[in-house]
Structure 1
Amino acid sequence: MDDEIYVLHARVCKSLSSPLRLRILDLLRDGERSVSELVSLTGVSQPNLSLQLRFLWDNGVLERTRMGTAVRYRVAHPEIFEAIDIFRTILAKKLAREHQLTRRGTPR
């Protein structure tokens, strides 16, 4: 069981390693969206977006519903946003610290 959870953990983290995939997840915070909505909101091509959505779906981050020819995506586990927000908090602190150190090293 432990090895299995490590593998799943790594797969989810890999899903979060793309700026575009993180942007897609942000757009899904308020609920499900269609592929065409996501194309419009991201400005990326439909094939590229579909590839990223498939990656997130394959790794269990997203669920999807087919409605005729349309496909709608939603986050499989809303708790993923807690993890994303924790990472953002850590990274914001890191950036602020680096900025502070840079300013100290720069003559005024």
Structure 2
Amino acid sequence: MTVPLYQAKAEFFRMLGHPVRIRVLELLQDGPRPVRELLADIAIEPSSLSQQLAVLRRYGIVTSRREGSSVVYELAGGEVAELLRTARRILTDLIAGQNELLAELREAETSSR
């Protein structure tokens, strides 16, 4: 039985819906990183990072390879980096709109006094 596209999309976004996973993906936009660097930048327990990396690997969002005693992770493709850039633009627009609304509310409050 196949899953409807909207359900697959919802599951994909649910998979992305964890702050550590998003932070890992942001860090990997700059290129491959060993786990020790990810741990230093994210500052969480190794077991927690391992769990989140496993989820990203399972969905095929990141790949890993062993280099000596280190495991290095990288984005599986450029589309994820583009998705993160798009999300940043959307959030920037939303926040700008909220700031405009806040300014209007403050102006209305000042003029009603």
Give the TM-score taking structure 1 as reference length.
0.84
Percent identity reads 31
Aligned to 1:25: 25
Structure 1 segments unaligned to the other structure (5+ residues) = none
Aligned residues: CA RMSD: 2.2
Aligned to 2:66: 66
Give the superposition deviation at 1:16: 2.0
Structure-2 separation of matches of 1:72 and 1:99:
40
Give the superposition deviation at 1:19: 1.9
Give the superposition deviation at 1:50: 0.8
Give the superposition deviation at 1:40: 0.6
Greater radius of gyration (CA): 2
Give the superposition deviation at 1:30: 1.7
Structure 2 segments unaligned to the other structure (5+ residues) = none
Give the superposition deviation at 1:4: 7.0
Does structure 1 residue 101 correspond to structure 2 residue 101?
A: yes
Q: 1:41 to 1:103 in 2, by over 3 A?
A: same
